[in-house]
Structure 1
Amino acid sequence: MDFFLLAFDSTQQALRAEMLLEYADIEIDLCPTPKEITAGCALSIEFPAADLETVRRIIESEKVEIRGLFERTQDGYEQIQ
């Protein structure tokens, strides 16, 4: 299964996104930010690719500040937003 990752600049935004996505019944995993991704926050959120559009809509409508949206690849992560 393909996964995407949201990285953040602040823990506050990561926890806010966690709450919003869980409320929307999206299966997420709060995890340490991978070392190859530079972000101001040690927490990231991983979620299934099938939920990408819903996650984007929630992030935009709720104005959650993210460092970036990344796709998990064989070689690590590739930024897509």
Structure 2
Amino acid sequence: MRHLSITGFYPDDRQDDSLQFELDIEGTELNEKVAHLIESKPLNEVEPGELLLSESQVMTLSELLGVSFPEGLEYFMGTCAKQ
């Protein structure tokens, strides 16, 4: 089963590529909502890989997920396989 994950890294100019934030989105319904919000398609149609999120997408995800995202990071959404 696939699910979505959000990761955060410092911008490239910081020259630190270590992972600073990670959030696995739990639950089928919530994953579907996020897929529709970010990609405008169902989760099963979201392509593998990572997508850079805009500031407005991060703000909307913060409200939807009830999560405070640390400032100053670039955020990416990707698909993961749950085993």
| TM-score above 0.5, yes or no | no
TM-score range normalised by the length of the shorter chain: 0.3 to 0.5
Q: Taking structure 2 as the reference length, what is the TM-score of the superposition?
A: 0.35
Q: Taking structure 1 as the reference length, what is the TM-score of the superposition?
A: 0.36
